[in-house]
Amino acid sequence: MTDLTGQTVLITGASRGIGAEAARVFAEAGANVALVARSADSIADIAGEIGKNAVAIPCDISRYWEVAQAVENCVTAFGGLNILINNAGVIEPIARMEEADPEGWGQAIDINLKGVFHGMRAALPVMQSDGGGTILTVSSGAAHNPVEAWSHYCASKAGAAMLTRSLHQEMADKGIRAMGLSPGTVATQMQKEIKASGINSVSKLDWSDHIPADWPAKALLWMCSGDADAYLGEELSLRDEGIRKKVGLV
């Protein structure tokens, strides 16, 4: 396992699913963990479960000033910020474009796309002052292929994937390691929302087709090691058996 003793990670969308599992996995690897989400009670419970090396920071990532404050609170708690995991994302409202609610569509963009930029923008000055850092963004196959009734999700994930590439282009020579992770379908609350919609082939998948949330969490941890440096600026896919083998997943 990658040893992150003395390192600090801030994870958005840490109240459930991949984010919650990442908090546990990174804490087990020795990292200080800042859990960020709108669900204050949930992240407080997880931080309490992890112990003194975790703090819960309620935050709406669609608002830049809240993200900037969350980063400041993280630095106050642990003295710095070495790793940012842009994980927060929403799939609702699932709807075909001719029926989509413009306000709900825009809110998804605010969280899935602008939220990623907000995290990057707030973290970069802190990381630069410390000589560098790692910024990982949870992507999706939907970033590269259209999915019926997911125009908001596909567009926002495609934009977030380009933010990772842009960050690498601009900041790689300044010590910033930027990568994306496409986990595939994961057994989380989001998949329950997808299944409930009954729209498109993804909603028809059997629950056993989804990977457990700790798989992408372990992949994110591995991406913080030098073993992943060959993939800087790129997006890794857990559908790739070679990547799974490198991470140690079976």
Catalytic positions: 153
Q: What is the CA radius of gyration of the chain?
A: 17
Where b means 16+ CB within 10 Å and e means fewer, 111-147 reads bbbbbbbbbbebbbebbeeeeebbbbbbbbbbbeeeb
Distance CA 147, CA 201 (A): 9
Distance CA 247, CA 40 (A): 31
The position carrying tokens 């999700």 is 153
Maximum separation of any 2 CA atoms in the chain, in Å: 50
Q: How many residues does this entry show for the chain? A: 250
Residue 196, classed as helix, strand or coil, is helix
The position carrying tokens 């908090």 is 23
The token pair that represents 230 in the structure block: 């060959």
Distance CA 125, CA 131 (A): 10
Give me the half-sphere count of Cα atoms (radius 13 Å) on the Cβ side of residue 44: 6
Burial level of 230, CB count in 10 A (0-12/13-18/19+)? exposed
Residue 21, classed as helix, strand or coil, is helix
